[in-house]
């Protein structure tokens, strides 16, 4: 696996600059992202379209919401870092694949052509347009009793698979 420093396309952004021209409603909600965790020795990735970016504890942060059955979750749990990566529109098919197949059953890189790249101790993919490297700060599984709007329980959690919200400090941003 190459290191991002060996690739010519990426430049490291100042984190304060990184929010400009980055509409999270569009980038996460409409265009989707890959959540990836692990190292060169073993990693997994999955598509996500729910998430946040903002400020918490005076730090630039993201929140990724991961259901317990995702194979990716065990990599997030066992590593200090995870990455969020964003792709050009023509990668929709690859992102759909990573969001409908599990790394337990298939090699997502082999099936999609996504090329893993080592980034600051974590992993993302060479084809990304933007990569956020995130350091886990806080993780909390949602609970049934915490829902104020109870209709969400029926519409989203019929099997009780409440998301864990992972708060990650954005420690580096790379862009093409």
Ligand X SMILES: Cc1cc2nc3c(=O)[nH]c(=O)nc-3n(C[C@H](O)[C@H](O)[C@H](O)COP(=O)(O)O)c2cc1C
Site residues (CB under 6 A) for ligand X? 32, 44, 46-50, 65-67, 70-72, 96, 99-104
- Is the CB of 100 or the CB of 145 nearer to ligand X? 100
Nearest-Å Rg of the Cα atoms of the chain is 16
Residues linked to residue 171 through DSSP beta bridges, in sequence order: none
In angstroms, the CA 91 to CA 75 distance is 23
Torsion angle defined by CA atoms of residues 9, 54, 136 and 14, in that order, rounded to the nearest 10 degrees:
40
- Is the CB of 49 or the CB of 140 nearer to ligand X? 49
- Which two tokens mark 150? 């109870």
- Considering the complex, what minimum distance in angstroms separates the CB of residue 76 from ligand X? 9
- Is the CB of 70 or the CB of 130 nearer to ligand X? 70
- Which two tokens mark 176? 């093409």
- Considering the complex, what minimum distance in angstroms separates the CB of residue 8 from ligand X? 30
In angstroms, the CA 135 to CA 155 distance is 31
- Is the CB of 2 or the CB of 104 nearer to ligand X? 104
- Considering the complex, what minimum distance in angstroms separates the CB of residue 152 from ligand X? 14
| Residue whose CB is nearest to ligand X in the complex, by number | 99
């Amino acid at each position: 696996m190459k290191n991002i420093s060996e690739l010519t396309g990426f430049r490291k952004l100042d984190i304060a600059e990184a929010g400009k021209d980055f509409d999270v409603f569009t980038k996460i909600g409409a265009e989707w992202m890959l959540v990836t965790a692990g190292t060169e020795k073993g990693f997994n990735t999955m598509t996500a379209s729910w998430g946040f970016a903002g400020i918490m504890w005076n730090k630039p942060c993201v929140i990724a919401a991961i259901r317990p059955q995702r194979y990716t979750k065990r990599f997030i749990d066992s590593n200090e870092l995870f990455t969020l990566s964003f792709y050009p529109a023509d990668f929709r098919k690859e992102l759909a694949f990573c969001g409908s197949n599990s790394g337990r059953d298939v090699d997502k890189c082999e099936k999609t052509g996504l090329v893993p790249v080592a980034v600051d101790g974590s992993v993302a993919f060479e084809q990304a347009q933007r990569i956020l490297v995130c350091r886990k700060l806080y993780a909390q599984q949602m609970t049934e009793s915490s829902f104020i709007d109870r209709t969400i329980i029926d519409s989203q959690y019929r099997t009780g698979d409440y998301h864990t919200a992972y708060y990650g400090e954005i420690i580096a941003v790379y862009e093409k």
